[in-house]
Chains A and B, each alone.
Chain A
Amino acid sequence: MTVVGGVHEPTLALHVEDLTASYAHQAVLWDVDLNVPPGVLAAIVGPNGAGKSTLLRCIIGAVRPNAGHVYVHGRPYREQRRRVAYVPQRTSVDWDFPTTALDVVTMGLYGRLGWFRRPRRTEADEALEALAMVGMDDFADRQIAQLSGGQQQRVFLARALVQDADLYLMDEPFAGVDATTERAIVDLLKDLRARGKTVVAVHHDLQTVATYFDWLALLNVRVIAQGPVTETYTAENLHAAYGPRVVLLGATGGPAPAAAPADRAPGEEARTPVA
Chain B
Amino acid sequence: MTALQAWLDAPSVTIVAVGALVGVAATLLGTFLVLRRESMLSDAISHAVLLGIVGAYLLTGTLDTPLHVVGAALAGLATVVLTDLLVRSRRVKQDAAIGLVFPALFAAAVLLINVYARDVHLDADAVLLGEIAFAWLDVVRVGGLEVARSLLTMLVVTVLNLAFVVLAYKELKLATFDPALAVALGLRPGLIGLALLSLLSVTAVGAFDAVGAILFVAFVIVPPTAAYLLTDRLWRMLAYGSAIAVASSVIGYRVAVALDVSIGGSMASVTGGFLLLALALGPRHGLIARALRRRAPRPPAGADLASSAGTSAHTTAAAGPAGAPR
Interface of A toward B, CB cutoff 8 Å? 23-24, 57, 60-62, 78, 81, 84, 86, 88, 92-100, 104, 107-108, 110-111, 113, 115-119, 142-143, 145-151, 159, 176, 178-181, 267, 269
Residues on B with C-beta less than 8 A from A93 are: 177-178
Stretch at the interface among B114-122, B134-142, B288-296, B310-318: B310-318
Which B residues between 166 and 186 are near A, CB-CB below 8 angstroms?
167-171, 173-174, 176-186
Contact call B180/A97, Cβ cutoff below 8 A? no
Q: Is the CB of B186 within 8 A of A146?
A: no
Task: Establish whether residues A150 and B307, one from each chain, have CB atoms under 8 Å apart when the complex forms.
Answer: yes
Report which of A84, A116, A149, A179 forms a contact with B184, defined as CB distance below 8 A.
A84
Q: A111 to chain B: closest CB distance in Å?
A: 3
Q: Can you pick out 19 interface pairs between chain A and chain B where the beta carbons lie within 8 Å of each other?
A: A23-B90, A81-B186, A88-B180, A93-B177, A93-B178, A94-B35, A96-B312, A98-B233, A99-B173, A99-B177, A99-B233, A107-B174, A143-B232, A148-B308, A176-B308, A178-B304, A178-B308, A179-B307, A180-B307
Question: Closest A-chain residue to B31, C-beta based?
Answer: A98
Q: Which of A88, A142, A151 contacts B181, CB < 8 Å?
A: A88
Collect the chain B residues with CB atoms within 8 Å of residue A113's CB: 170
Once A98-B237, A115-B171, A119-B170 are accepted as A-B contacts, the answer to whether A180 and B177 lie under 8 Å apart by CB is no
List, in ascending order, chain B residues with CB within 8 A of A115's CB: 171, 187
What CA separation (Å) do A181 and B184 show in the bound complex? 25
Using A97-B35, A146-B317 as known contacts, say yes or no to A62 and B90 having CB atoms under 8 A apart. no
A14 CB to nearest chain B CB (Å): 14
With contacts A104-B177, A147-B315 known, what are 8 further pairs, Cβ within 8 A? A24-B90, A92-B178, A97-B177, A110-B182, A143-B232, A148-B305, A180-B304, A181-B304
Rounded to whole angstroms, the CA-CA distance of A106 and B287 in the bound complex is 32
CA distance A94 to B89 in the complex (A): 25
10 cross-chain pairs, A with B, having the tightest CB-CB distances, nearest first: A111-B185, A148-B308, A60-B184, A143-B232, A145-B314, A86-B184, A178-B307, A149-B311, A62-B183, A149-B308
Q: How far is the CA of A42 from the CA of B183 in the complex (A)?
A: 23
> What is the CB-to-nearest-CB distance from A69 to chain B, in angstroms, rounded to a whole number?
17
Contact B171 A151 (CB under 8 A): no
CB-CB < 8 A to A119: which residues of B? 170
Q: Which one, A81, A118, A150, A176, contacts B170 given CB within 8 A?
A: A118
Cα A110 to Cα B321 in complex, Å, equals 36
For B174, the chain A residues whose CB sits under 8 A away are 107, 110
Contact B308 A150 (CB under 8 A): yes
Give complex CA distance A81, B188 in Å: 13
Tell me the complex Cα distance, A20–B35, Å: 33
Contacts of B180 in A (CB 8 A): 57, 60, 62, 86, 88, 92
Query: What's the nearest-Cβ distance from chain A to residue B270, in Å?
Result: 23
Are the C-beta atoms of A148 and B315 separated by less than 8 Å? yes
User: Chain B at the A interface: mostly helix, strand, loop or mixed?
Assistant: helix
Given A86-B180, A107-B181, A180-B304, answer yes or no on A118-B233 (Cβ-Cβ < 8 Å). no
CB-nearest residue of chain B to A145: B314
Q: Please give the distance in Å from B120's CB to the nearest CB on chain A.
A: 41
Q: Given A107-B177, A150-B308: A96 and B186 within 8 A (CB)?
A: no
**Which residues of chain B are near A146, meaning CB under 8 Å?**
312, 314-315, 317-318
Asked if B303 is at the interface (CB within 8 A of a chain A CB), the reply is: yes
Output the nearest chain A residue to B89 by Cβ-Cβ distance. Answer: A24
Please tell me if the beta carbons of B187 and A110 are within 8 angstroms of each other in the complex: yes
Q: How far is the CA of A108 from the CA of B228 in the complex (A)?
A: 24
The CA of A117 and the CA of B168, in the complex, are separated in Å by 9
How far does the alpha carbon of A95 sit from the alpha carbon of B315 in the complex, in Å?
A: 11
A23, A98, A99, A181 pick with most chain B CB within 10 angstroms: A98
Which of B35, B169, B312, B313: most chain A Cβ within 10 A? B312
| Closest CB in chain B relative to A95 CB, distance in Å | 6
From 144 to 175 in chain B, residues with beta carbon under 8 angstroms from any chain A beta carbon are: 167-171, 173-174
For B184, list chain A residues within 8 Å (CB). Answer: 60-62, 81, 84, 86, 111
**Is B234 part of the contact surface with A, judged by Cβ < 8 Å?**
yes
Report the bound CA distance from A81 to B184 in whole Å: 7
B177 touches A151 (CB 8 A): no
Least distance between B171 CB and chain A CB atoms (Å): 7
Give every chain A residue within 8 A of B90 (Cβ-Cβ). 23-24
With A and B bound together, what is the CA distance between A200 and B143 in angstroms?
63
B186: chain A residues within 8 A (beta carbon): 78, 81, 111
Q: Which residue of A lies closest to B303 (CB)?
A: A180
Residues in A neighbouring B303, C-beta threshold 8 A: 178, 180
In the complex, what residues of B have CB within 8 A of residue A110's CB? 170-171, 174, 182, 185, 187
B269 at interface (Cβ–Cβ under 8 A)?
A: no
Chain B neighbourhood of A24, CB < 8 A: 89-90
B231 within 8 A of A: yes
Question: Would B167 and A116 count as touching, CB distance under 8 A?
Answer: yes
Q: Least Cβ distance of A12 to chain B in Å?
A: 19
Which residues of the other chain, B, contact A84 by a CB distance below 8 angstroms? 184
Min CB–CB distance A194 → chain B (angstroms): 25
Partner among A96, A99, A100 whose Cβ is within 8 Å of the Cβ of B314: A96
Tell me the bound Cα distance from A136 to B77 in angstroms: 42
| Residue contact A111 to B187, C-beta cutoff 8 Å | yes
Q: By CB atoms of chain B within 10 A, which of A99, A119, A142 has the most?
A: A99
